[in-house]
Chains A and B, each alone.
Chain A
Amino acid sequence: MQRYSGFSLVKHALSHHENWQRHWRNPVPKKEYDVIIVGGGGHGLATAYYLAKQHGITNVAVIEKGWLGGGNTARNTTIVRSNYLWDESAALYEHSMKLWEGLSQDLNYNVMFSQRGVLNLGHTLQDMRDIQRRVHANRLNGIDGEVVTPEQIKEIEPALDTSERARYPILGASWQPRGGVARHDAVAWGFARGADARGVDLLQQTEVTGFKIVDGKVVGVHTNRGDIGARTVGCVTAGNSGVLAKMAGFQLPVESHPLQALVSEPLKPILNTVTMSNHVHGYISQSDKGDLVIGAGIDGYLGYGQRGSFSVVEHTLQAIIEMFPMFSRVRMNRQWGGIVDTTPDACPIISKTPVQGLFFNCGWGTGGFKATPGSGNVFAWTLAHGQAHPIAAAFSIDRFRTGALIDEHGAAGVAH
């Protein structure tokens, strides 16, 4: 792998930048691998990267039906934070946050991780009680956070309407300074490049059409490019997880919904931080290009169409205007949808399944991007050891039968 540095930039300038290597190979599938990962999004690629790097398992294929990072990895609003209420999810997302903090160096790839801070606004007395409870829980778990007043919010984000004139006046917020945003595509590409350099085969345009299961144990997958054998298979397929589970003969407690986002025309720098509001339901940040990046809520119905209802866009922009009246004349440029796999307790599933050797990492719902490195890290450990990583153990599929749910609904600011 060609390393990137200031020196290499100067060196390649001398040859007019014509000799940079490709990021990854486009290999022909082998007959058999030790581990197959289904799904070449951020989480799947991160899993492959950590399998190769930390567990020395390099005979690995990532199978992707489209192109790398072309699903929800390319469609989210890139928010990274770890201020979750419950111990189990706080441990998982904070594990991820710590990996984010060294990720560009680790991957030798600039993921443009910007810790510009995340505000979760409170508009009602109950919001403020929940925020205080969550911030205290975060601090007990060693996660940074504080409760800030409207005056402090005004200093952090002057563009916000913190006056008492608002329809839903801002009473305060939780503030996580270590939160922020990252460049979503770079995360997928960085993990892909790192995995490929360690020998992982990244098979694009390869669609899994079924599993080969013998005596209750997975021995490979059927694809549109022929059968590929494997001792262990990990599925990281977000919105399509339910479809893959059905191929393997069982159900998951997930439902797939469209989730939309939109961006405005590029503006000069106006937003300092990421602002989220659960009560009026919208969240917003500004990209380095200048667009306002705005996230909406899910459509309530099931859907695989990667598009959502217009009414959701309308409600979201109402919320944004409530928070930032000065944006009322900003024009929106593009809008799109991704398919998120939501679980009943708004927490992911990182788990064994009824089929031996087949593991699922899914159910990240509306907030998977922030967990990309942590999810890949604990799932790689799980695949390498054949049992759940200590942090992942609580996220077993069994919790939907034992009742040990981790209820993060609404507990983490806005559910994205």
Chain B
Amino acid sequence: MFHIYCPYCAEYREEEEFHPKGQAHIARPADPTASSDDAWGDYLFFRDNPRGVHHELWVHAVGCRKFFNITRDTRSYAILETYRMGEQPGVTAETATLAERDIERRTSDTATIQGVPS
């Protein structure tokens, strides 16, 4: 269960209040009618899907209903930062340290929670 800091409400709230909306910072082709099938297909469907640091769009659906961005590690699920629409991420795959990504602690948590794999 995530505890997410909404940059508009300036408060931590429970995951249930939010909805994830996929990869952030995807630029819509400037002139869709001039766009090739390949470029339009890439824009609509093809995603980074990284195993590691990911910038993603969320909406505070039952809160302020505003969209914002989260930088999160998709292995440890550690949230590295949240920031408003139009802003650029402060943490990226290149700059995030292992400690920030929180991998070691989370991995041992997982072992306790999951127990024997089924």
Residues of A within 8 A of B (CB): 70, 74-75, 240, 242-243, 246, 251-256, 263, 299-307, 309-311, 334, 336, 344, 400-403
Contacts and interface: CB of A to CB of B under 8 A. Distances in A.
Contacts of A310: 1
Contacts of A246: 50
Contact of B49 (A242, A311, A334): A242
A307 B41 contact: no
Contacts of B47: 242, 251, 253-255
Contacts of A242: 47-51
B46 A400 contact: yes
Contact of B75 (A252, A299, A305, A336): A305
A336 B117 contact: yes
A303 B114 contact: no
B7 interface: no
30 contacts: A74-B118, A242-B48, A242-B50, A242-B51, A243-B49, A243-B51, A246-B50, A251-B46, A251-B48, A253-B41, A254-B47, A255-B22, A256-B49, A263-B118, A299-B20, A301-B72, A304-B75, A305-B74, A305-B76, A306-B114, A309-B2, A309-B15, A311-B15, A334-B118, A400-B41, A400-B45, A401-B38, A401-B40, A401-B42, A402-B37
B19 A305 contact: no
Given A240-B51, A344-B45, A307 B118 contact: no
Interface of B: 1-2, 15-16, 19-20, 22, 37-38, 40-42, 44-51, 54, 56, 72, 74-77, 106, 110, 113-115, 117-118
Given A74-B117, A307-B113, A401-B37, A301 B51 contact: no
Given A336-B118, A344-B44, 19 more contacts: A242-B47, A242-B49, A251-B42, A251-B47, A253-B46, A254-B47, A255-B47, A256-B49, A256-B74, A300-B20, A301-B72, A303-B74, A303-B77, A304-B75, A305-B77, A307-B113, A309-B1, A344-B45, A400-B46
Nearest 5 interchain pairs by C-beta: A242-B49, A401-B41, A253-B45, A301-B20, A300-B20
Contacts of B54: 302
Interface centre among B15, B45, B50, by most A CB within 10 Å?
B45
B110 A307 contact: yes
A69 B94 CA distance: 34
A254 B20 contact: no
A402 B44 CA distance: 12
Contacts of A70: 117
A300 B117 contact: no
B1 A252 contact: no
Contact of A300 (B1, B19, B48): B19
A256 B75 CA distance: 11
B16 A311 contact: yes
Contacts of A401: 37-38, 40-42
A233 B74 CA distance: 27
Contacts of B76: 305
B49 A252 contact: yes
Contacts of A255: 22, 47, 49
Contacts of B42: 251, 401
A352 to B, nearest CB: 16
A240 B45 CA distance: 17
A331 to B, nearest CB: 16
Given A302-B56, A305-B110, A252 B46 contact: yes
Contacts of B115: 334
Contacts of B20: 299-302
Contacts of B110: 305-307
Nearest to B37: A401
A392 B108 CA distance: 41
Nearest to B46: A251
